[in-house]
Amino acid sequence: MKQLGSIMSSEIAQTPKVFEAILQNSSAFDEVKNVLVEQNIQSVLILARGTSDNAAHYLKYLIETQIGLPVGLTSPSSVTIYNAQLKYKNTLVIAISQSGQSPDLVHFATAAREAHAYVIAMTNDDSSPLATIAHNHFSLLAGPELAVAATKSYNAQLLVSYLLVCAWTNRTVNKAQIISEAERLSSDENLVSHAVAQSSRNNETVILGRGFAYPNAREAALKIQETCKVSVQGLSTADYLHGPISALTVDTQVFIVAPFHLPVESIIEATNKIRKTVDRIFWIGNGGTPQGSDIVLMGSRCDDEIISTLVDAIVLQRFALEFSVAAGFDPDAPEGLSKVTLTH
């Protein structure tokens, strides 16, 4: 009899090997090293859906903070529904997709290239439509991903995004540390067990993050919704204070994504206000400010917040997996979902 979540568990555990494959292939980024200058890029748009859209937010923060170019997220329906005529000269469009097959993403990428955009794609299928359309394609090298909830492919998208920006900024990559920290988290059988035991599907769950932590907060919320059949909010701590905090109760389970080296001042206002209502905060990562009965899901200890974030994705995925199994669900095949979502 198949063990619940065995496929998802196996795929999360493959992350260090996926990272190793990508890092061994890092010279592939040399061919786009000068593309921003050669194409006179003035702005960047990122094309993605679902889990890949959360990776897109990570890439957005990377480009904005490390390069300073304006970055937006595309609206595929502007083309697929409203037939907008794009004017994308001097624009870089980066398409992120596990399958590279969703018709609306393919349609938009095609229209963007015809509108003189320079198109880069990252997918897990070198022969996918998105890979074929792009001027440059970067393989996620994640191998077949069978569980419906994307895990290793999301982690690969974060790393490929990081290496892409490193190529543009001549940043040195600590390859050994990324792999070793991913191996350490993946091999820890008790990584999330205490947090899972202290959590309940019956209580509202809110997952918050700021800056580079925000994409993982969104992804953690999505993974729990996909695998545990509960509604979860994934928000910026700043946005949370602009209204949603009014719904906070003493029973709300608040998770704050806090990678190592997170600027503590970025979340102080939110944590102070949250503590006025709840007695306990769950922290994902080693960059938080735990107190009293708080529970910490220990993350990586990388050189900076940026790479700590991409390695810590393993922690939130393990929590979603084990939280789902504890509730008697099979996270490998959540009801109502399929691996490839073909939106139009």
CA distance 8 to 337: 14
Burial of 279 (0-12, 13-18, 19+ CB in 10 A): exposed
| CATH fold match for the domains 6-178 and 189-326 | yes
CATH topology of domain 6-178: Rossmann fold (3.40.50)
CA distance 340 to 320: 20
pLDDT value of position 282 = 98
CA distance 48 to 50: 7
Q: Torsion over CA of 122, 126, 132 and 134, rounded to 10 degrees?
A: 20
What tokens were used for 306? 């940026």
Per cent of the chain over pLDDT 70 is 97
Higher-confidence residue: 339 or 21? 21
Residue 207: pLDDT above 60? yes
Phi-psi region of 70 (alpha: psi -120 to 50; beta: other; left: phi over 0): beta
Residue 277: pLDDT above 90? yes
Per cent of the chain over pLDDT 90 is 95
Residue 3: pLDDT above 60? yes
Residue 339: pLDDT above 90? no
CA distance from start to end of the chain: 38
Residue 91: pLDDT above 70? yes
What tokens were used for 239? 């946005």
In the chain, where the domains are located? 6-178, 189-326
pLDDT value of position 203 = 95
Q: How far is CA 230 from the centre of its chain?
A: 20
The residues near 170 (Cβ < 8 Å, ≥ 6 apart) are none
pLDDT tens digits for 208-247? 999 999 999 999 999 999 999 999 999 999 999 999 999 9
Q: Does domain 189-326 have CATH number 3.50.50.60?
A: no
pLDDT value of position 130 = 98
pTM above 0.85, yes or no: yes
Q: Residue 85: how many CB atoms within 10 A of its CB?
A: 9
Q: Residue 27: how many CB atoms within 10 A of its CB?
A: 8
pLDDT value of position 208 = 98
**Averaged pLDDT score across all residues of the chain:** 95
pLDDT value of position 336 = 62
pLDDT value of position 334 = 73
Alpha-helix residue ranges (DSSP H) falling in 193-335: 193-197, 213-228, 237-241, 268-275, 305-326
CA distance 277 to 251: 9
Let me know how long the chain is.
Answer: 344
pLDDT tens digits for 130-181? 999 999 999 999 999 999 899 999 999 999 999 999 999 999 999 999 999 9
Name the pLDDT band for 342 (thresholds 50, 70, 90).
Answer: low
pLDDT value of position 25 = 95
pLDDT tens digits for 31-49? 999 999 999 999 999 999 9
Name the pLDDT band for 335 (thresholds 50, 70, 90).
Answer: confident
Half-sphere exposure of 230 (CA within 13 A, CB side): 21
CA distance 309 to 286: 10
